[in-house]
């Protein structure tokens, strides 16, 4: 028996990180998650065998920063501002996963979305169910 994040409220995304590391996003009721959104702040999970990382924030802060034109701005670190690592370690089965994910209290974390209005100022808005 191994750990399957889809048994714990995560959706498997349609891409992987380098070295074929699987990526999952916490399922949000009422939100269209048919495609991943680089601007969405949510809980994510990566899995390489039994090694799992869970974080709250952007799926890839570096890529989001570059796509918004902050790639050359050393004064603003997207990962520092928009990512919080919640767990890094080994989860070998669903029972262990249930205990660890329960302890993280992911349901208390509110998903948000980064937006750039016409004024060009970066804003963070609470994600609305729709």
When pLDDT is averaged across residues 8-29 and rounded to a whole number, the result is 93
The rounded distance, in Å, linking the Cα atoms of 45 and 128 is 22
Q: Count Cβ atoms within 10 A of the Cβ of residue 56 and give its class: 0-12 exposed, 13-18 middle, 19 or more buried.
A: buried
Q: Is residue 127 predicted with pLDDT exceeding 90? A: no
Give pTM, 2 decimals. Answer: 0.90
Token pair 């890094």 is found at 88
pLDDT digits (tens, 9 = 90+) for 69-125: 776 777 777 788 889 999 999 999 999 999 999 999 999 999 999 988 777 778 889
- The span from the CA of 61 to the CA of 10, in Å, is 20
Q: What is the average pLDDT value for the chain, to the nearest integer? A: 90
Write down the pLDDT at residue 67: 82
Mean pLDDT lowest for which of 8-12, 42-46, 116-120?
Answer: 116-120
Domain limits, the chain: 5-126
Report pLDDT for 68. 80
């Amino acid at each position: 028996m191994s750990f399957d994040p889809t048994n714990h409220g995560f959706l498997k995304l349609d891409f992987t990180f380098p070295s074929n590391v699987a990526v999952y996003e916490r399922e949000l009721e009422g939100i269209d998650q048919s495609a991943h959104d680089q601007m969405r702040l949510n809980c994510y999970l990566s899995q390489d065998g039994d090694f799992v990382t869970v974080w709250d924030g952007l799926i890839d802060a570096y890529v989001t920063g570059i796509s918004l034109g902050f790639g050359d701005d050393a004064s603003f670190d997207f990962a520092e501002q928009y990512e919080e690592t919640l767990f890094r370690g080994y989860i070998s089965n669903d029972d262990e996963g249930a205990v660890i994910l329960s302890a993280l209290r992911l349901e208390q974390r509110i998903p948000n979305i980064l937006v750039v209005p016409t004024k060009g100022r970066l804003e963070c808005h609470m994600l609305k169910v729709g």
